[in-house]
Structure 1
Amino acid sequence: MIKGLFPTGVAAVEAFDDATPAPLYPEESALLGNAVAKRRDEFATARRCARQALGLLGHSPGPIMAGPRREPLWPAGVTGAITHCAGYRAAVVARAGEFSTLGVDAEPHGPLPDGILETIAGPAERQHLALLRRRHPAVHWDRLVFSAKETVFKAWYPLTERWLDFDEATVTFDAGRATFAARLLVPGPVVGGIELGGFSGRWLVGRGLLVTGIAVAALRPAVTMHPLPDLIGY
């Protein structure tokens, strides 16, 4: 299901339960502390998805540790993201030479709890979502904007190593194309000498889930052509 959100070159693996045994490396198990069995199972399955995705890029299995924001720490030369929610786990990875960053998030396809939308979306966004609800009532747009902003953060953080609040990006959706655009309201990360003003992504609804994804192709600095020196007088 998730592969349709990402372009060629991104390896994606998903699981809809924790039925397949997924042993953890001791270093990974230590990250969980005294977590309950359910948390350990979902973490282990997500790590299994990540190792399988890395295998598609030619990497040997190994522990996937976590950074200060619990973000996965990928092997050198790899960018990626992991998500898990009730009934779903997934990982996406790509070579850093091909993609600067990736983001992915999955959520149950249901409404947000009361009062949450007002904390994650501004007035213009809520007006946009209200219009979408009238035109496409089958989609829980409030949950989808939450997922999109989670995905924006996952794409943002590896490039900046800084927090991004919900109110520091605005998201709009194209229902017909199943795409979204996020405009940053703070200075964006500089990639390949270019400041990113936002992110674009795709979304899908299926199997009781909402899934959002972002893939930013690697940007390379433009080559500056310097004029030849004036040779008169040499």
Structure 2
Amino acid sequence: MTLLPAGGPAPAGLLAPLLPPQVTAVDTFHDSAEPFLFPEEEALVAKAVSKRRHEFTTVRQCARAALAGFGLPPAPILPGAGGAPRWPGGMVGSLTHCDGYRAAAVARDTTVASLGIDAEPAEPLRGEGTLNLITLPAERTALRELAAHRPGIPWDRLLFSAKESVYKAWSPLTGRPLGFHDAHVTLRPNGTFAAALLVPGATTAGPPLTGFDGRWQVRDGLALTVVAVPPHGRTGPAC
């Protein structure tokens, strides 16, 4: 886990246990007291509200600190197709932020084909009907069983987070969107999960995807999930 530079936000280090050693991650509970954006980035949030600017700025500071761990100089991190961040040549990565937390993870594309990380508040999903919008019937059955087995864990929020991580790992490999109902996610009480793709997993290079494996944890008020795709095909145990 690479730390933010002196004078920046204090690192939290929550992602390290979930990620493989090839991945460098930086995370923080604090927005920077000395925010910095490249002009190209500044243009993207010039009219944004303060909350959005803080999220956008700090998560990019995390990303630049993570890239520095690979000897890469600071550079703009701009959205590409579908809104996913574009990384320097030879690198893959993922960003996430929620209230009070920002994180970035990066790796060389020779060791990791794609990354997905997501952080959510560790509380049940809000809004009537939200669960039906993001889950399949079989997933809702499994959520009830998990809640009976281990109450106190926000399983519905974890499932949402896992699908977000799956999407972030899928998008750079395929260049296509992935709906909430396009993958069946199985959460396991041991801190792992599996996502079986229900749509063709053709990739821009390499063999087709059949699914993803990942890891999760709930701590410090957050539900965290990660997917780390190895260079070829479906992921193995994520880390």
Residue aligned with 2:226, SS: strand
Q: Does 1:62 align with 2:75?
A: yes
Q: Is the 8 A contact 1:100 1:191 kept in 2?
A: no
Question: What is the aligned partner in structure 1 of residue 88 from structure 2?
Answer: 75
Question: What is the aligned partner in structure 2 of residue 119 from structure 1?
Answer: 133
Q: Does 1:102 align with 2:111?
A: no
Q: Does 1:188 align with 2:201?
A: yes
Which has the higher Rg, Structure 1 or Structure 2? 1
Q: d(CA) in 1 for partners of 2:170 and 2:205? A: 15
Aligned length: 219
Residue aligned with 1:99, SS: coil
Question: What is the aligned partner in structure 2 of residue 136 from structure 1?
Answer: 150
Q: d(CA) in 1 for partners of 2:162 and 2:217? A: 11
Q: d(CA) in 2 for partners of 1:137 and 1:189? A: 38
Q: 1:191 to 1:215 in 2, by over 3 A?
A: farther
Normalized against structure 2, the TM-score is what? 0.89
Deviation at 1:201, TM superposition (A): 0.2
Q: Is the 8 A contact 1:205 1:211 kept in 2?
A: yes
Q: Which runs of 5+ in 1 are unaligned?
A: 221-234
Q: 1:8 to 1:60 in 2, by over 3 A?
A: same
Q: Is the 8 A contact 2:174 2:204 kept in 1?
A: no
Q: d(CA) in 2 for partners of 1:138 and 1:118? A: 21
Q: Does 1:5 align with 2:18?
A: yes
- For 1:71, the aligned partner's letter is A
Q: Which runs of 5+ in 2 are unaligned?
A: 1-13, 234-239
Residue aligned with 2:138, SS: helix
Q: d(CA) in 1 for partners of 2:85 and 2:205? A: 23
Q: d(CA) in 1 for partners of 2:16 and 2:27? A: 9
Equivalent positions of 1:1-234 (< 5 A) are: 1-113=14-126, 114-175=128-189, 177-190=190-203, 193-219=206-232
Q: d(CA) in 2 for partners of 1:155 and 1:205? A: 21
Q: 1:45 to 1:115 in 2, by over 3 A?
A: same
Deviations 1:34-86 (A, max 9, x none): 00111101110000000000001111111111113221110000000000000
RMSD of aligned residue pairs (Cα, Å): 1.3
